[in-house]
Every structure is written in structure tokens, then in C-alpha cells.
């Protein structure tokens, strides 16, 4: 288990400036996945299995993906409602494909039962004025904190152009930004599906 924490640090959420020119869709192309190499060497099948088994054991200590997904959806709903009611931004427009599933990436991309979710949590048409930006960030930060996220990290900060990121202990992320439109999105860290978590035992990947 000594290396599982590093292997599981698998996502860094990024939204490009181009993605905010129209109704933003955060897809895999907007996600940078950083695989931190935990074990040096030739990458033999035995070593790969050891790495993935350690990762599986670590993921067993996390909530399963079904629980995490419900928590993210509740968080996003609360953020959207409060920003509309308290800051007065335009009503949120849902994305046509709000959720994307993906593997955990890196050395555990073939882990049976390991998965992540990426969210396009909506677009509020129009720019959020600079005068209201700090108030909006404070609201997002307050709600995100209730769901285990840390303080906001400034990613972009310019006139009428802002983005902040929030991280949780499972390497999940929430992104909030404004430019041409105001956007909300994020991605979970790596978690086991409900079925794999219930099973509780590591299964080696299939070999073809």
C-alpha cells in the first residue's frame, strides 16, 4: 500500500479558454490526466499486478462511485441554486451530455472496477461581473467545503475572466469560472464502482 496514494493521484482538471467561447462542454479533451510513476523498473506483469492490487486496496477505503456521484450532484445543485438566488446570475442551461465516464488512467487504467466521472454541471449565459465575482466564489467555496473540498485555487484572474479550482482528498476537483459565459464543472478522483466495492477483492486484468 505504500505506493497507492501516488498512483491514485490521477487527474488534473483543465478547461481551455477556447471551451468558454460558446456553451462550454467539458470533455476528455479538456482533461489533463497526470500519471505519477510510483515504481521504477521494467513494468513486468507481476509488478503491474502488485501496483494495481495496492491501488484497489486503497480504493476500498474510499466511498464507492455511486455514493460519490450522488454527493457531487447534490453539491452542484446547491451551488447553482445559490448563485442564481443570491448573486442573480442567469438561469443555468444544462449540458446535453452532463456526465462522462472514464478509467482512472496511468498505471491503473486497467484496474477492474476503478472509474472516474467528469461533469459538465451547466452554463449560465453571460459574464459574471468582476464586482460580483468574489461573492460568487465565496458561495461556491462554502458549498464545496460542506462536501469535503478545500479552499479555492486561482487558475485565471483577469478583467472579466476568472477561473478557480477546488480539490478534495480523493483528488476530485470542482471548477468554477466566468468569461464569455459562467461555467461549473468538475471531476471525481478514482473510485471503485458499487459492484467492485461490494465484491471487495482485486481481480487481475484480462489478458488477450
pLDDT for the residue numbered 106: 87
The reported pLDDT for the residue numbered 16 is 33
Instruction: Domain ranges for the chain, please list them.
Output: 4-199
Q: 206 is written with which cell numbers? A: 484480462
Q: Check if the beta carbon of residue 118 is closer than 8 Å to that of residue 31.
A: yes
- With a pLDDT cut of 70, the percent of the chain lying above it is 77
Of 6-10, 98-102, 142-146, the poorest mean pLDDT is in 6-10
Beta strands in 87-190 (DSSP E): 99-102, 114-124, 153-158, 161-167, 173-178, 182-187
**Domain 4-199 belongs to what architecture?**
2-Layer Sandwich (3.30)
pLDDT in tens, 118-162: 999 999 999 999 999 999 999 999 999 999 999 999 999 999 999
Amino acid at each position: 500500500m505504500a505506493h497507492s496514494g501516488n498512483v491514485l493521484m490521477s487527474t488534473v482538471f483543465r478547461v481551455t479558454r477556447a471551451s468558454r467561447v460558446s456553451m462550454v462542454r467539458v470533455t476528455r479533451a479538456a482533461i489533463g490526466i497526470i500519471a505519477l510513476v510510483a515504481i521504477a523498473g521494467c513494468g513486468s506483469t507481476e509488478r503491474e499486478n502488485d501496483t494495481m492490487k495496492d491501488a484497489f486496496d486503497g480504493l476500498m477505503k474510499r466511498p464507492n462511485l455511486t455514493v460519490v456521484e450522488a454527493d457531487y450532484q447534490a453539491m452542484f445543485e446547491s451551488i447553482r441554486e445559490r448563485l442564481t438566488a443570491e448573486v442573480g446570475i442567469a438561469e443555468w442551461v444544462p449540458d446535453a451530455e452532463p456526465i462522462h465516464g472514464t478509467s482512472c488512467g496511468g498505471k491503473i487504467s486497467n484496474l477492474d472496477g476503478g472509474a472516474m466521472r467528469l461533469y459538465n454541471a451547466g452554463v449560465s449565459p453571460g459574464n459574471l461581473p468582476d464586482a460580483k465575482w468574489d461573492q460568487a466564489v465565496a458561495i461556491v467555496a462554502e458549498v464545496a467545503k460542506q462536501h469535503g473540498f478545500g479552499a479555492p485555487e486561482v487558475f485565471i484572474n483577469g478583467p472579466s475572466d476568472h477561473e478557480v479550482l477546488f480539490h478534495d482528498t480523493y483528488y476530485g476537483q470542482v471548477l468554477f469560472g466566468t468569461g464569455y459565459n459562467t461555467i461549473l464543472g468538475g471531476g471525481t478522483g478514482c473510485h471503485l464502482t458499487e459492484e467492485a466495492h461490494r465484491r471487495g477483492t482485486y481481480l487481475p486484468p484480462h489478458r488477450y
